C-alpha cells in the first residue's frame, strides 16, 4: 500500500516538474538546448569522475 502511494507521489511530482520545465523552455529555445545538453553531460561527467577516482585515468 505504501509503495503505491509513494509511486503516485513520485509520478505527480515528476509531472509537475515536467510541466514547469516545459513552460519555461517553451518560450526560450536556447534553454531547451542547454537542458538537452545537461541531460547527457551531467551523467557522463559523473561517470568520468567515478572512473577517475577508481582507476585514476585522468
Q: Which three cell numbers stand for residue 39?
A: 541531460
State the virtual CA torsion across 16, 40, 46, 57 in degrees, nearest 10: 180
pLDDT in tens, 3-57: 778 888 888 888 888 888 777 777 777 777 887 888 889 999 999 888 888 777 6
The angle, 0 to 180 degrees and rounded to 10, between the axes of the packed helices 29-55 and 2-27 is: 120
Q: Which three cell numbers stand for residue 16?
A: 509537475
**Domain housing 24:** 2-55
**The length of the chain, given as a count of residues:** 58
- Count up the domains in the chain and report the number: 1
- pTM exceeds 0.75: no
Q: Which three cell numbers stand for residue 25?
A: 523552455
Amino acid at each position: 500500500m505504501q509503495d503505491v502511494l509513494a509511486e503516485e507521489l513520485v509520478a505527480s511530482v515528476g509531472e509537475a516538474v515536467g510541466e514547469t520545465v516545459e513552460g519555461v523552455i517553451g518560450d526560450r529555445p536556447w534553454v531547451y538546448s542547454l537542458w538537452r545538453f545537461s541531460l547527457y553531460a551531467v551523467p557522463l561527467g559523473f561517470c568520468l569522475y567515478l572512473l577517475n577516482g577508481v582507476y585514476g585515468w585522468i
